[in-house]
Structure 1
Amino acid sequence: MKVAGVQRSFPVGGSTLQVLKGIDMEVPERQLVMLKGRSGSGKTTLLNMLGGLDQPTAGEIWFLDQPLHGWNDAKRTELRRKQIGFIFQAYALLPLLSARENVELSLRMAGVPSAEWKSRVAYCLELVGLGKRMDHRPGELSGGEQQRVAIAKAIAHRPRLLLADEPTANLDSQMGAQVMAVFRSIIETEGMTICMTTHDPTILEVADHVYEMVDGRFV
């Protein structure tokens, strides 16, 4: 993924709030890239741009040599379903479904043939260390375990790019380290690329590249 001159502004009252002020970056294949910065620095806004959830006010975003910045909502939605996985701070799991069923849901949405569901779900939950907990619902799992289910759900449809917004923010240091170990394993075994936001300095050392954001710019 390549980003060139990306800006994002929002109308606020009678004025304009400039959140991103000219971002240039690359996210190389099979690497773990971190966007570091305090709350309000613009890193989540940029992550949303990379995933096609939002469009830049100016600039270009290229994903697999395709102009993501020029696509309409329908085309970006189709891309997200098949090529991009998302992990959010709040886990985004359905409470009435088991871990297995939550992961299976992403395969349904991506249009993966049902014959592949059982083996792929089991593989992804084993990969994140939850093979023996796949029939438990989110409320029966710890925060760290719920985050690992969210990771399994995000990678189940074999996306090329995994985007994670503060995935360790609600975890203690030990659980956070486990999540980062899972990310490194995913890059090695699945060949995925991961871009994540963080303000936790203790996990930066596992990244291949770190971009530090301050007030909508890289420093």
Structure 2
Amino acid sequence: MARWFRKKNASEVMVLEEEMPFDNNATPLRQLKSPLLTVRGVQRSFQVGGQKLEVLKGIEMELIPLQLVMLKGRSGSGKTTLLNLIGGLDQPNEGEIWFQEHAFHLGSDDERTLVRRKEIGFIFQSFALMPLLSAWENVELALRMAGIPRSEWKERVAHCLELVGLGKRMHHRPFELSGGEQQRVAIAKAIAHRPSLILADEPTAELDSQMGAQIMSVFRSIIATEQITICMTTHDPTILEVADHVYEMVDGKFIS
């Protein structure tokens, strides 16, 4: 698979290089201190009713490996739009988004999809589970879609569900689980293919404060055990204290 990377010179020319073979002795990227993701001068606007609506206005940010980063802001502040750009689901009108060595602002839809499938997991406010499948089958489906060999499914599914505290509920379907338990299944699903980054859009919005605190505890646990970076949106001030870094958004900009 080909990938975009930054040439090490003053002009930072973008060139396309064939991916090098994996080196088992190399230091995993997620253990390095350099940013996992960098956003530079990103702007995003949409045409609404013939008028230009500016949603993001010059965003600058970094995601450091093994941190829990929160995007705080009211509805309409631009949090979800930024999360979509970070995850390669959309592209900016201006600016740069570097995920590892991948230039999301330059790559095609297919190139970004390949990166997401391998390196990024998503958690949604509405859980996004298949209602007729058990917790086990939902996580197994995520592995199937990521192209993980079948021989690894059983061990990995069991590990992920145990990690989020659902060892005794893994064969229940979503309607048999509480909201907090459903979100735990969604987390297990998101980490199953061993991504380096998890993006979570308001993961505690549908939960009460106690369940929200438990989800935050799960996040801290998987950062430590799975070596994952998490970036999430929230408007809940009660969970901000567990974050390593908080970016506060107002009208498409970060404020100090």
Q: What is the CA distance between 1:65 and its match in structure 2?
A: 2.3
Which TM-score applies when normalising by structure 2? 0.85
Q: What is the CA distance between 1:42 and its match in structure 2?
A: 0.1
Distance in 2 separating the partners of 1:15 and 1:200: 32
Unaligned runs of 5+ in 2: 1-36
The residue correspondences of 1:23-172 to structure 2 (distance < 5 A) are 23-172=59-208
Q: What is the CA distance between 1:134 and its match in structure 2?
A: 0.5
Distance in 1 separating the partners of 2:131 and 2:51: 41
| Structure 2 counterpart of 1:16, one-letter code | K
Q: List structure 1 segments (4+ residues) > 4 angstroms apart after TM superposition.
A: none
Richer in helix (by share): 1
Residue 244 of structure 2 corresponds to residue 214 of structure 1: no
Residue 253 of structure 2 corresponds to residue 187 of structure 1: no
Equivalent residue number for residue 8 of structure 1: 44
Rg larger in structure: 2
| Structure 2 counterpart of 1:147, one-letter code | Q
Q: What is the CA distance between 1:13 and its match in structure 2?
A: 1.6
Unaligned runs of 5+ in 1: none
Distance in 2 separating the partners of 1:85 and 1:110: 10
Deviations 1:50-73 (Å, cap 9, x if unpaired)? 000111011000011221111101
Distance in 1 separating the partners of 2:94 and 2:167: 45
Q: What is the CA distance between 1:37 and its match in structure 2?
A: 0.1
Percent identical among aligned pairs is 77
Which TM-score applies when normalising by structure 1? 0.99
Distance in 2 separating the partners of 1:169 and 1:13: 30
Residue 213 of structure 2 corresponds to residue 177 of structure 1: yes
Distance in 2 separating the partners of 1:146 and 1:187: 20
Deviations 1:62-101 (Å, cap 9, x if unpaired)? 0112211111011111111110000000000000000000
Q: What is the CA distance between 1:15 and its match in structure 2?
A: 1.1
Higher relative contact order (CA 8 A, sep 6+): 1
Distance in 1 separating the partners of 2:133 and 2:50: 45
| Structure 1 counterpart of 2:138, one-letter code | N
How many residues get paired?
A: 219
Distance in 2 separating the partners of 1:121 and 1:203: 28
| Structure 2 counterpart of 1:13, one-letter code | G
Q: What is the CA distance between 1:14 and its match in structure 2?
A: 1.7
CA RMSD of aligned residues (A): 0.5
Distance in 1 separating the partners of 2:58 and 2:217: 32
Distance in 2 separating the partners of 1:201 and 1:2: 25
